[in-house]
Amino acid sequence: MATYNTSDFRKGLKVQIDGEPYLISDMQFVKPGKGNAFYKCKLKNLVRGTTLDRTYKGGDSLQSADVETTDVAFLYRQGEDYVFMHQTSFEQYEVSAAVAGDIWKYLKDGMVCTMTLYNGNAIIVEAPNQVELEVVDCAPGAKGDTATNVTKPAKVETDAEFIVPGFIKVGNVIKIDTRTGDYVERVSN
């Protein structure tokens, strides 16, 4: 198994601590005027979701996490679970709502997502950075509201609601940033 030295530490790196996978969610390099440099890291447990704050001296190392990242296609929802299929092996994965989180807001049939597996079990499912969704319900825009930044809630085809500009109407296809849940642009009328 590979190891990472402190000089390799960066945000997004997956490491193993005490036999469990962690993600470096924040890393700060500190070089005091006197003494050795050190690295302050915020680590998120990929299985339990808890966070750790750890400090490492220059020259320390951590093992790489034994995780696999792969592309999967969303197939369907089964009760509280979501079913995905591996793109090449056609193996299916059932992912609980707790693991999937808010991804349901963006899922459309056949959408390719990124799944992180630990010991063959899905621990993270991520949608593409931006998705296009059709607006199925929203309040009509008022005449003359185009000069100001008027916003309103709009319901999309996945039953999720997003805040959109006042000029968006039913039938529009909008682009949403899945990392923030923010409206990006109108794709078509």
Tell me the CATH number at 95.
Answer: 2.40.50.140
Residue 73 structural domain: 67-126
Question: 101 and 144 in one domain?
Answer: no
- CATH code of the domain covering residue 8: 2.30.30.30
Taking the C-alpha atoms of residue 13 and residue 25, their distance in angstroms, rounded to an integer, is 8
Q: Grade residue 46 by pLDDT with cuts at 50, 70 and 90.
A: confident
10 & 58 share domain: yes
Chosen domain end from 64, 85, 101: 64
Question: How many domains in the chain?
Answer: 3
Q: For residue 143, what pLDDT is reported?
A: 64
pLDDT band of residue 72 (cuts 50, 70, 90) is: very high
Which pTM value belongs to this model?
A: 0.71
pLDDT in tens, 131-173: 999 999 888 766 665 556 788 888 999 888 999 888 888 888 9
Do 8 and 47 lie in one domain? The reply is yes
Q: Are residues 34 and 73 in the same domain?
A: no
